[in-house]
Structure 1
Amino acid sequence: MTGYAARTRDVERGALHLELKSVNSRYLDFQFRICEELRSAEPALRELISARISRGKIECRLNFVPATTKTVPQALSGELLARLADFDAQVRAALPQATPLSVGEVLRWPGMFGDDTLDTDALVPEALALMREALEDFAASREREGAKLAAVILERVARIRELVRAVAPHIPAAQAAFQDKLRQRLQDAIGSVDDERIRQELVLFAARIDVDEELARLSTHLDEVERVLKAGGASGKRLDFLMQELNREANTLGSKSVVSAVSQTAMDLKLLIEQMREQIQNLE
């Protein structure tokens, strides 16, 4: 399912900015865009996401934004300044034509205002803490969408129950009428066969067109769909399986149908089941 979260965390010499996005996918897929300073943190970040998310195409962006300041540092590195002066004297002694270092070059010399190297090892724990915070927001956004999808699926479940309740009372009478019609046709076609043989054939036929079991299993599967959705948590794969079972029962119902009302109901059921299946592809 889709989700989004963004967090920023102030750290020494700058800030970390993390952004998480996800789109629908049946499997868990990662795409990381991480600054070079934090590339070593990717495996740990992947583990944190996997512990919370089991489905979706996840895009993670993590950047370090250096701090900018308008103040001019007041202290120069005396030791480095002395070393540069010594080097400058040695170079010009050997090469009199060499140009002396300018003030700008001296000020831009690495370490002139102290140790300005970035401690990337110290940034990794900060990045992991930031990911944990972002995952809370990310999971909450996915839960909100999941609740909306669950409501859509439950509405389809209610519609299927309505269709079954509407057609079920008419099935016995419709089947009995069809059997009477079939009995008359058999008698007309094979008048020499006794009534007992015709009765046996009709009993076998009635067993083949009986749909009570299919309707009962439909109801059981619908109960399970509602239970899974209300229980919450990762349920996409379980619901995928239930959609297969519901579709199986709808197909069997249609194949056993001897009246147009049941055939039409079976088609309507398959349409609603497919609509649910499409929504379930978006659930974790």
Structure 2
Amino acid sequence: RRWPRLRPPHIFRISAARPPTAHMALHHSSCPAAHHPQLRHSRLRHHPRLTAPPPSHYVAVSGRRRPVVAASDLRSEPIQSSTADEGFRLRRATLQDASAIGSICAEAFSGSATPRVDSQELREVLAKLEDGYGVRINSTAAARFAAAQERKRAAANEARAIRLEATTAKLRRQLARMRGEPPPPTSVADINATYRKLHQLRGPRMFMQLVAEEEEEEQDGEDGVIGSVTLVLRRVEAVLPPPFPTTAPLRMYLCNMAVHTGHRRRGVAKALLQEAQRVGKRWGQ
């Protein structure tokens, strides 16, 4: 025996056609719900949100995301940071800052690699180990920064050439259409390959090294750099490391945050994090 299907009382119907007297079912004809199709439910006709008068002002809300801007396209934009009162400024690092970045990272991370002990003999041994760690961290950080800058430059040039070629092909098709000639053949596979290539080049391009330097002439840190942080895109949610395939999205990843020991407790790290947050918004993160 099949029981009849009961309709819950909270379900209502909305008629497809809008009769001329639909707005008369509402208390206020100027509210946004007056232009809605006729509602066949008595509760909604007396709902406070439908019977309330219209607001005096409206707030425009846009759901569109900002366009993603590559790190190579942010060179011309100034750093927006209020660090003039603290005596330092933020900027994007160049290849000349590789040694300074390496020395700051070595100073910040070499001491954390060894435990703290009470024995004087062990302290001497650990001090030598820290010196060795510092030298390796210095050379590794400087080499990685230089390699990342080179990959970023090569990827930016390649992406620029691909976009220029695509724009030229588009203009040729438009010119042929204006002349009444058949447009040059273009396959969907070539277009998809171009988009895939640009997507692959996005990772190397999205790299930025922010540094903080002293504004005074007498600078304590090497080359005036007193702090640094690295901004990259990584698939941090991937189960396996690369080169294994994954569907995890690219996320902004901050690493190698270091501040000179003589310039701590001045808001250097906070300013670097705020600038990294601004850059992440420009990257669509």
TM-score normalised per structure 2? 0.24
Q: Which has the higher helix share?
A: 1
Question: Considering only CA atoms, is the larger Rg found in Structure 1 or Structure 2?
Answer: 1
